Structure 1
Amino acid sequence: MRAPELGALPLGLAATLGRTYGRLTEVAQGLTDADFARNTRCAGMAVGPLLVHLLYDAERALMGFATPTVAETDRDFVSYWRDFPHGDEGVPEPDTSFVRTVASAYRHPSEKLVDHWRGVSEAAVRAGAVALAEKGRRIETQGHVLRATDFAATLVVEAIVHHLDLIVELPDAPEPDPEGLQVTARTLDGLFGPEAWDVIGWDTTTYVLKATGRVPLDEDDLDMLGPSAVRLPLLG
C-alpha cells in the first residue's frame, strides 16, 4: 500500500537524516554524566539507555544501507509502521533491561557513549548518502524490504520521536530538526488517513507527541478530532 500524496516524502532525505542524527549528537554532547540518569518519556529508560537504543538503531541503519537486496519491496515508509502499533501485545517493546545494562557499562557516558553514538551515527549517514544516490536501491530490515528512501524516512521518524522523548527533562537541549519533524508528520498523516487530515489543528511537535501517545489527549483534542480520536495513538 502506497502512502497518500499528502504524505509524500521530500527530496534530500540523506541530508535530513544527517541533520536529524546531528541534532541528537548536539543533545548528547551537551550533557554531564549525571544527565544520563534523567528520565525520558520512554518508561523504564533514562537518557543513557535511550541513547543506547538509538545507537543500535543507527547501527541497523549502517548495516541496512551497506547491504542492498534485490528482493521486492513489501513496505513503504508508512506501511512499515503498521507492524509496530501502539499497545500491540504481539510486538515486543525495546529491551529496556538490555539497554540499561549496556548503558551502565559506560562509566563516563558523557565521553564514551557520546563518542560511540557519534561514530556510528555519522557512519550511517555517510552510508545513507551513498545508498540514496543509487536510484532504486532496496534495503532489508526487520523482516521487510523497503526502498532506500523509505528506509531513511523510517530512521528519521524513530530518531525524531525519541529525540522528543530524550529531552523531556533537558530544557536547554536543542529541538529536533524541523524537516525531520515534517517527515514524521507526513508519516503520521499516512497512518491517520485522509478523514482526519482536515481536523488536525496542532503544531507539528504537538501532533507528533499526541499522535504517538507521548502526551494524552485533552477534552479540546477530543472535540477537535471527533470520531477520529479513537485511532490515536498511531504508533508507540
Structure 2
Amino acid sequence: MDHFSYSWQALRTAVAGLPDEDFTRPSGCSGWLVRDLVCHLVIDAQDVLITLVTPAVTEPTVDAVTYWHVADRPPTGEDPLDALTVRLAAAYGEPHLLRFHLDDVGSAAGRAAGLADRGARVSTRDEVLTAGDYLTAYVLEWTLHHLDLIAHLPGAPRPPAEGLARSRELLERIAGAAFPASFTDTDALMVGTGRRAPTGAERTQLGELAARLPFVLG
C-alpha cells in the first residue's frame, strides 16, 4: 500500500469537508486554530514538491526514522515560522480560499509523490535520503496532523487505520521501544508525542518508557 498517498488523501478530504465555522476552532497544535494548521499543511505540501525535485548525488545521511529530530520541549508558538503561519492563515480571510489552496498544491504534491522514483536520492533540511524514505517519514506527519485537525471536531473523519499503524511503527522505531499492546495506535501516537498525558494506568503499563515521554518530533 502507498501509505503516503492514502494518508495524504484522507487528510485533504477531511479538510475539504469541514464547515467554515470549524476553521476558527482550536486544533491539537498548541496555540493554533484549525485554519493555522491547514495553512501549515499548504506549506508542507510545498515542501514535498520542493524536496522531490531537489536531487542529491551523495550517499543518504538519514532514513525515514532518523529524518525526525526529537526536541527537548514542545513548540511554544514563538518560533518565527510558527508565528508567520498564524499571520498567513489569517490573511486568507475566507476558509474557502484555504481549502482551494490546499486542494491545488496538495493535489500536485500527491501527483509528484506518485510519480517519484522511490530509490532516487533527494535533499532537504541539509540532509540526503531516498524519496521513498522521505515519503514514508511524511506518513507520520500526515497522520499526526490529521489527529491534530480533529482534536476538537468529534464528527470529522479519522485517519485511516493503515496510516495509524504505519505511524505507530515509525514512532516506536524512533523511540527504540514498543508501546504496550494494550495501547491503540491512536493512543500510542497521542501519548507518545505528548498530544495528551498518559493516565495513571497507562503510565504504569509504559514502565521505564514513561520517563522518556514525550517524543516531540520536528
Could you say whether these structures have the same fold, taking a TM-score greater than 0.5 normalized by the shorter chain as the test?
Answer: yes
- What does 1:8-23 align with in structure 2 at a 5 Å threshold? 12=1, 15-23=2-10
Q: Are the aligned partners of 2:175 and 2:215 in contact in 1 as well (CA < 8 Å)?
A: yes
SS at match of 1:201: coil
- What does 1:15-94 align with in structure 2 at a 5 Å threshold? 15-81=2-68, 83-87=69-73
Shift of 1:93: 5.1
Q: Are the aligned partners of 1:49 and 1:96 in contact in 2 as well (CA < 8 Å)?
A: no
Q: Which residue in 1 is equivalent to 2:168?
A: 185
Distance 1:35 1:66 in 2: 34
SS at match of 1:145: strand
**Aligned AA for 1:229?**
A
**Aligned AA for 1:104?**
A
Q: Are the aligned partners of 1:53 and 1:99 in contact in 2 as well (CA < 8 Å)?
A: yes
Segments of 4+ in structure 1 off by > 3 A?
none
**Of 222, 227, 234, which residue of structure 1 is paired with 2:203?**
222
C-alpha change, 1:206 and 1:227, in structure 2 (3 Å) is: same
* Matching of residue 125 in structure 1 with residue 106 in structure 2: no
C-alpha change, 1:88 and 1:218, in structure 2 (3 Å) is: closer
**Of 138, 143, 147, which residue of structure 2 is paired with 1:155?**
138
* Matching of residue 104 in structure 1 with residue 90 in structure 2: yes
Question: Identity percentage over the alignment?
Answer: 34
**Aligned AA for 1:148?**
A
Q: Are the aligned partners of 2:179 and 2:206 in contact in 1 as well (CA < 8 Å)?
A: no
SS at match of 1:182: helix
Q: Are the aligned partners of 2:51 and 2:122 in contact in 1 as well (CA < 8 Å)?
A: yes
1:67-119 CA deviation, whole Å, 9 max, x = no partner?
221121111111111x2425178xx857332111111111221x111111011
SS at match of 2:123: strand
Distance 1:44 1:94 in 2: 14
